[in-house]
Amino acid sequence: MAIQLFDSLKREIRSLQPSQPDGVFRFYNCGPTVYAPAHIGNFRAFVINDVLRRLLELEFGAGKVKHVRNLTDVDDKTIKRARDEGRPLAAVTREWTDKFHADCVALNCLPPHVEPTATGHIPEQVDMIDVLMKKGNAYRAADGSVYFKVSSFDDYGRLSRVKERELQPGNALKAAAADADEKEDVSDFALWKAHKDEDGDNSWDSPWGRGRPGWHIECSAMSKKHLGETIDLHTGGVDLLFPHHENEIAQSECCNGRTFALHWFHNEHLLVDGKKMSKSLGNMYTLDDLVAKGFSPMALRYALLSGHPRKQLNFTLDSLHAAESALATLHGFRSSLPASGIVHDAFASVFTALKDDLNTPAALGALFTIINRRSGEVDLASFDQAMFALGLDLEKTTAPKSEVPAAVQAIAEKRWAAKQAKDFATADALRKDLAATGWSMLDRKDGYSLEPLKK
């Protein structure tokens, strides 16, 4: 079975295949803005994309996937941070890039094959803007900024359906899309921003005067440079769908005259107490915050995988307790396995779940079902391949804390997956099965813990 994944543009689940004769799968994932620590919501996006990358490599071969993830190292936020701290922009973005890399290592995310920066690709961005100007898709405003003319691209809004809904007069999204007064039309967006005093020395020469690139053009230019004009998959969180990805499509397709990305995938948000995690709401956690509370980074990875990537996931500390307990069970199970050196298909159901629209909670459920049944086929090599796909490094978990038997954990994981799928009848039946084993499952807001029933 080929990997199946929801395509946000075609709005259906479709197979992933390399489109070019060299058989290399071209995959672009929008990376972080490096001006502060990435929060665990950002890491939901990066962990999900990491599982996807691992799955693609298992499917097509390690040398047959090219994964590009950019670093946004010049924009309003990075420049403001540098100005506030009285430091050069490059010093600020270097510090937060290093921190991002350290967190990625702790969370066992594979490094992308190429990690391009916006400041390292100014000529490529200028070249694309130049083509758009020559083709009549862009215009220079009086202040020296250059805007993309949205009305010049008939297909604008296909990804986000923005023409039908959001870009109505008075709509909030219209305000979000409006970033300057000099534009001919409110929905036009900046390709090049003319230098302003507050930009300091963070500007570059261009045919339109000194300035800096707009945010959207960087991904179009870096994707083109490192993956070519048509790529197989482009991903990011749902907040990037509009306007960022809509604008990327417009720029790239007008400039190159061909389809930009053959498949689009967007992960849903991580919520805290039902709200999107954000600095302004003060409900933001970083990996360090959780480590300071005694949780392992691997528990966070597990918790982030415990919800379906295309559904919102409400984060709670309880979900980390459940994750620690599950990891401890996996750790104990691994040390009991015989080595064989041959990968059997004992964990086929885990891969089936992952290949079915990246259903990570179902994959975790399937994993514990197998552990519970424990047939003769289960050996170290097969188990480690399943751990590789999920990116769970059991050596990076804290010492096993729980004595929950694997069979009990298996029922708990299945019940959790049933609850996630709102299959309450199955969840109730599994609660009874748990009671029969002498354990009870305490449901918290979005996680569980297991306790032995009092005799």
Find out whether 441 and 452 touch, Cβ atoms under 8 Å. no
Find out whether 309 and 362 touch, Cβ atoms under 8 Å. no
In whole angstroms, how close is the CB of 116 to ligand AMP at the nearest point?
15
219: contact with Zn ion by CB under 5 A: yes
In whole angstroms, how close is the CB of 224 to ligand AMP at the nearest point?
20
Closest CA to 392 of 313, 344, 336, 323: 323
Structure tokens at 71: 């670093």
In whole angstroms, how close is the CB of 181 to Zn ion at the nearest point?
25
In whole angstroms, how close is the CB of 373 to ligand AMP at the nearest point?
34
Site string for ligand AMP, 1-40 (x = CB under 6 A): -----------------------------x-xx-------
Find out whether 397 and 291 touch, Cβ atoms under 8 Å. no
Question: CA of 131: how far to CAs of 149, 165, 265, in Å?
Answer: 13, 30, 28
Which amino acid, 51? V
In whole angstroms, how close is the CB of 340 to ligand AMP at the nearest point?
38
384: contact with ligand AMP by CB under 6 A: no
Find out whether 206 and 97 touch, Cβ atoms under 8 Å. no
Closest CA to 155 of 254, 265, 13: 254
| Stretch in the footprint of Zn ion (CB under 5 A) among 23-31, 179-187, 225-233, 427-435 | 23-31
Q: What is the DSSP letter of 296?
A: -
Structure tokens at 64: 């047959």
Show contacts with ligand AMP in window 220-249 (CB under 6 A): 236-237, 239-240
d(CA 220, CA 70): 11
Among 30, 122, 138, 371, binds Zn ion (CB under 5 A): 30
- Please give the residue whose beta carbon sits closest to ligand AMP in the complex: 237
Task: Estimate the crossing angle of helix 122-134 against helix 246-256, to 10 degrees.
Answer: 70
Q: How many degrees, rounded to 5, is the angle at CA 407 between CA 405 and CA 412?
A: 95
305: contact with Zn ion by CB under 5 A: no
How far does CA 235 lie from the centroid of its chain?
A: 7
Q: Which is nearer to Zn ion, 145 or 252 (CB)?
A: 252
41: contact with ligand AMP by CB under 6 A: yes
145: contact with ligand AMP by CB under 6 A: no
Which amino acid, 307? G
Binding site partner of 328, from Zn ion, ligand AMP, none, Cβ cut-off 5-8 A by kind: none
Q: Which is nearer to ligand AMP, 73 or 413 (CB)?
A: 73
In whole angstroms, how close is the CB of 30 to Zn ion at the nearest point?
3
Among 177, 254, 270, 362, binds ligand AMP (CB under 6 A): 270
Structure tokens at 145: 């900024």
Q: Which is nearer to Zn ion, 124 or 446 (CB)?
A: 124
Q: Which residues bind ligand AMP (CB under 6 A)?
A: 30, 32-33, 41-42, 44-45, 236-237, 239-240, 267, 269-270, 276-277
Q: Which residues bind Zn ion (CB under 5 A)?
A: 30, 219
